[in-house]
Structure 1
């Protein structure tokens, strides 16, 4: 045990997506419920087995209650936190601890949103910062642009290197029939796209489309009897460093340096042993920051690390193999889709994009404006 977390005592046994790309005429809660039922069927379990429900309804403050009512279940534990896109990795940590303690027996983590088909009345951060509002930033885009500009200033990172992240994601998306955008994309396409918040163009920014996802977790002893090969939870950690970007201690160092180190200690492995890296790519700067902070390259080397197709198919590190939030799906919050792709790769269910070796996968969620960081390490039975 490390940092109070029991390695491989729990597992993900079901995973599914629904409505990725476009889901017109279906409400967000309908989408969430459909993904939940698909994930339970994937595990060979029933709704009656679920006694813990974790969700983050995008535009409903009481989303946990709404989904429980919709599904007709009475869970012992319900959570609907507000850490943004990192919420779902946080849920894995919380569910693993609750399962291991015997508080619950089966956890359902689910999310669905359709901002493309049903644009919300208000998009972006929930309130304007009294310190930042006078500068009229585009929230949250301008915050990430600040981080990108600072990284470029300190370390010589280039716009071409940022573009490498988007191009690699698109190449993975072209291998994924579920990905929403699969047209060819070049470095020049990214650089010449409409500038949104300098230095980020529209192609440096994630999609804003529909999608739902769900995963199911149980204890390891029960996981052996489920329908699919279980994926062990090897480690999970979370940290919060700030709320506003103006309060971020260092624009080029995220809390991933903390959550990643803790998760690796729990999992008893290091970056060199990870076969798949699924990192939140709301903007092209975020994977560069996370690769550094998680230990895949030194601080300041992220831009050079991704050059030359290094994180594209055939590169030295498999990253965001579903196409990521940049080319596959980003329905307001993306963190749960990271976990689903990890499960699919570790089970050997990823089709044309399947990795030849996939035993350990890392899912890293990001919330707010680089504010909340959560890291989960998953492994096949061979890693236990």
Structure 2
């Protein structure tokens, strides 16, 4: 992308605690609460919000969704859209909001996501896509578990990646979650033995290497900098963004140990004028432990095939030498369906605003947020910076 996002900044955010059950909530009611809190955090009035970006929740979607949400929130919009890139949707919203502001379409964009852990009679898993009808379904390879298991097994075969290296990712993120209010597993420590002795869901992936669905959501406000009020905390700048993708099924990929994140990251870092070495932290989409390990390679934090060694050698806690998923990520904070990716955006913003409390990364000024949709399908990379 040959463009700049210098006119805009992230000015506020909101996040709901993760919950195991909907407990009478709807996606729309969560969106309403998040909108109220994010607008207030940005120092705005509701009437100042003239842009809206949403993704499609697994539970609670309706036709004309932006109009339904705008009607319920009482918004008068000059720009609105739905971004549907799976787990990359939230990161994709941020650069689209900034681009809309750069184009003069609006001044303050509410980017909001919410979803439920399941309906009263419908388990979450039954609503997931069944997989490719020709190359996956006939062999019982139902995504996403089968796809990520195949990726993990191939990575182990090609590069010697070990189960305990993948397990360490889950353990590191759980330690971060213990300091995160509202985390789904914020009160239960985890060890490598716990991970490797948990149920083998889809060889070689264990239960604690896979996200748990929850109810929740998060939101951010992207504002025109010249129209942003002084709200008491520094704005967060979008220094660079990149997007890439080509497939829905990994059967279309020639090499399943490499993702399009290498392309989205290259574009984002080039636009930002920085390198991976400049990042003070990374918030990486973590539907499975193998996803984090592969993205460490593809985003440029280590060479291809060296992800296992990188994880072994580095401290990925919020106080370590490579802070990663500092709120616990989706593995421990929880994955609120289609809203899951926004927790990475919000945590990145929170760190750069200096509002992360006990888990604040000291001196954080540049951070990377990465979103992943499907089985390594849609990839979006953001490079964020402290604008204070």
TM-score, normalising length: structure 2: 0.94
User: How far off is 1:7 after superposition?
Assistant: 4.3
Q: Partners of 2:325 and 2:153 in 1: how far apart?
A: 23
Q: 1:143 aligns with which of 139, 147, 167?
A: 147
316-325 or 326-335: bigger deviation: 326-335
Q: How far apart are the structure 1 equivalents of 2:108 and 2:349?
A: 17
Match of 1:250 in 2: 255
Q: Contact conserved, 1:56 with 1:64, CA < 8 A, in 2? A: no
**Number of the residue aligned with 1:187:** 192
Among candidates 63, 66, 71, match of residue 64 of structure 1: 66
Q: CA deviation at 1:180?
A: 1.2
- Which residue number corresponds to residue 37 of structure 1? 36
Query: Paired residue for 2:330?
Result: 325
Tell me how far 1:309 sits from its aligned partner. 5.6
Q: Which moved more, 1:188-197 or 1:45-54?
A: 45-54
The SS at the match of 2:18 is: strand
Q: Could you tell me whether the CA contact under 8 Å between 1:236 and 1:262 is conserved in 2? A: yes
Q: Which residue number in structure 1 is paired with residue 107 of structure 2?
A: 105
Question: How big is the shift at 1:128?
Answer: 3.4
> CA shift at 1:121, angstroms?
5.5
How far does residue 228 in structure 1 lie from its aligned partner after superposition? 2.9
| Counterpart among 310, 313, 327 of residue 315 in structure 2 | 310
* 1:185-226: CA deviation from partner (whole Å, max 9, x where unpaired): 111111111001010011110121111100000122223634
- Which residue number in structure 2 is paired with residue 15 of structure 1? 13
Q: Say which SS state the counterpart of residue 317 (structure 1) adopts.
A: coil
Query: Which segment is superposed worse, 298-307 or 66-75?
Result: 66-75
Give 1:114's aligned residue: 116
Shift of 1:318: 0.3
Aligned residues: 380
CA distance in 1 between partners of 2:100 and 2:274 (Å): 24
C-alpha contact 2:236 2:384 (8 A) present in aligned 1: yes
Aligned counterpart, 1:351: 357
Does the CA contact (< 8 Å) of 2:118 and 2:124 recur in 1? no
Q: What is the rounded CA distance, in whole Å, between the counterparts of 2:38 and 2:130 in structure 1? A: 34
Q: Are the structure 2 counterparts of residues 289 and 119 from structure 1 closer, same or farther at C-alpha, using a change threshold of 3 Å? A: farther
Alpha-carbon distance between aligned partners in 2 of 1:381 and 1:373, rounded to the nearest angstrom: 25
Asked if 1:365 corresponds to 2:367, the answer is no
Q: Take 1:272 and 1:224, find their aligned partners in 2: how far apart are those partners?
A: 33
Which is further off, 293-302 or 218-227? 218-227
Pairing partner for 1:200 from 178, 191, 205 = 205
Query: What is the CA–CA distance in structure 1 between the aligned matches of 2:19 and 2:354, rounded to whole Å?
Result: 23
Indicate yes or no: 2:386 matched with 1:380: yes
1:5 match: 3
- Equivalences for residues 163-182 of structure 1 within 5 A: 163-182=167-186
Per-residue deviation at 1:99?
A: 0.3
Question: 3-state DSSP class of the match of 1:207?
Answer: coil
Residues 37-74 of structure 1 deviation map (CA, whole Å, 9 limit, x = unaligned): 11110001122111111111313153323212211223
Q: Is 1:33–1:71's contact at 8 Å kept on the other side of the alignment?
A: yes
Give the whole-Å Cα distance in 1 for the aligned partners of 2:284 and 2:245.
Answer: 17
Query: Which sits farther off after the overlay, 62-71 or 351-360?
Result: 62-71
SS of 2:337's equivalent? coil
Match of 1:281 in 2: 286
Question: 313-322 or 335-344, which moves further after superposition?
Answer: 313-322
CA 1:51 to 1:119, structure 2 compared with 1: closer, same or farther past 3 Å?
farther
Kindly provide the CA deviation profile for residues 153-192 of structure 1, in whole angstroms up to 9, marking residues without a partner as x.
1000011111011000001001112211031111111111
Aligned equivalent of 2:133: 130
Q: In 2 relative to 1, CA 97–208 (structure 1 residues): closer, same or farther, beyond 3 Å?
A: same
1:296 paired with 2:295, answer: no
Q: For the residues of structure 2 that align with 1:61 and 1:298, how far apart are their CA atoms?
A: 43
Alpha carbons 2:130, 2:137 under 8 Å: kept: no
Query: 8 Å contact 1:169–1:324 — kept in the other structure?
Result: yes
| Separation in 2, partners of 1:158, 1:125 | 29
Give the C-alpha shift of residue 18 in structure 1.
1.6
TM-score computed with the length of structure 1 as normaliser: 0.95
Work out whether 1:89 is the aligned partner of 2:88. Answer: no
Deviation at 1:4, TM superposition (A): 2.3
Mark the runs of 5 or more structure 2 residues left unpaired by the alignment: none
